[in-house]
Amino acid sequence: MLKKIVIRVCVLFLILTGLNFIYTISFYKTDLKEKSPELIQIRETEGKTDVYYFGESSNVSYKKGDSIIESISEITSLFFPTLKFTNVNKYATHAGVYKQWIKQFKKLPKAVIVTLNLRSFDAAWIHSKLETQLSESLVFSYPYPNLVNRFLLALGNFDNQSDKQREEATLRDWKTIQLQFPFPFKYKTTSEWDAGMAAGSYLKPDGSWDTEKIVLACHYVKGYAFNMSETNPRIEDFDQIVQWCTEKKVRLYLNLMAENINYADSLVGKELVFLMKQNRDYLVKRYTKGNCVVVDNLELVNGNEFIDQNWTTEHYDYKGRMKIAKNLATQLKKQFEKDYKSAY
């Protein structure tokens, strides 16, 4: 009886192995190209790359009419002409995606630069409608045979909540998570603060409400009004990234993106600026250790150097991108001093 069971298990294993092999040589590359082109890029460039830059739209956006349209990562690479840089970018990505990308390495680079975006810690980004697409793109990074991952993809075995569920989760966080200040402040939650701004204090010269300013002020509140803490899922993701790089002895640079502090102050006030700077300080303190460096660009870019003047984004004109690239290069120089060359 036992012998028959062993034979059946072996036959089943051989069948599954064969099916996995057939899938891998026939449809796998097509599926990977459609769902996870970033994984292909990483696998094809590892062993040939000195420095990886993991980013989102903040890296590659530029202003129409810019005399320089190169990305932050491309400008940074100009300071190190003898090093091979590879840029892996996907819009709206965050630490939950980066940690899966970084675990794909079989041949280790000398350094990895990971984008650290303050807004990616807020409720709207954590519960974004884009999470379904991002989660789907990571299924082929699971540590299972390719065919198994394809079945998991077909079965929807990833974070595929409905848009309604995600919106409800965002609103719940805004309504229930208490804001903490070391000074008296009349609003206790992001929702209360948002409602207060929506009540309107911005008037046009003719006395009518300036709706555009009110909407923008509310957006700033919803994007930055939170206290960084260990309960934030992005913190757990970055902790894993730092741990992986520490264990593998890969130098890690967390590139903290600039935010429009000027607009936050003028539109909303010093309380919001306090939270932005406090959250920055939390990240710098938590991750400046061992082989990890936090490159602090939070206040580096002037308000008029942001492309989007009517929204909250980390998109910069060429002056802003050059400032961030130079700041990043200055930190990289400490590791790659022999490869450094002044670019501007």
Helix (H, G, I), strand (E, B) or coil at 16: helix
Worst-scoring range by mean pLDDT, 43-47, 58-62, 203-207? 203-207
What's this model's pTM, rounded to 2 decimal places? 0.93
Contact, 317 vs 305, CB < 8 A? Answer: yes
| CB neighbours of residue 80 within 10 Å | 21
37-122+178-339 adopts what CATH topology? Rossmann fold (3.40.50)
Q: Which residue has the tokens 């260990």?
A: 230
Residue range 318-328, pLDDT digits in tens = 999 999 999 99
Which contiguous run of DSSP H or E holds residue 218?
helix 211-224
The per-residue pLDDT for 53 is: 98
Contact, 224 vs 273, CB < 8 A? Answer: no
The per-residue pLDDT for 203 is: 61
Mean pLDDT of the chain: 92
d(CA 122, CA 234): 9
* Residue 1, pLDDT above cutoff 70: no
Contact, 288 vs 147, CB < 8 A? Answer: no
Q: Measuring CA to CA, which residue among 210, 194, 216 is closest to residue 309?
A: 216
d(CA 312, CA 307): 10
The per-residue pLDDT for 94 is: 97
Contact, 276 vs 297, CB < 8 A? Answer: no
| CB neighbours of residue 196 within 10 Å | 16
d(CA 248, CA 108): 8
- How many angstroms separate the first and last alpha carbons of the chain? 77
Residue range 260-312, pLDDT digits in tens = 999 999 999 999 999 999 999 999 999 999 999 999 999 999 999 999 998 99
The per-residue pLDDT for 206 is: 65
Q: Radius of gyration over alpha carbons of the chain, in Å?
A: 23
Confidence tier at 222 by pLDDT (50, 70, 90): very high
Q: Which residue has the tokens 């061992």?
A: 290
Give the β-pairing of 51-55 and 85-89: parallel
| CB neighbours of residue 327 within 10 Å | 19
The per-residue pLDDT for 90 is: 95
219: its two tokens: 């957006």
| Domain range annotation of the chain | 37-122+178-339
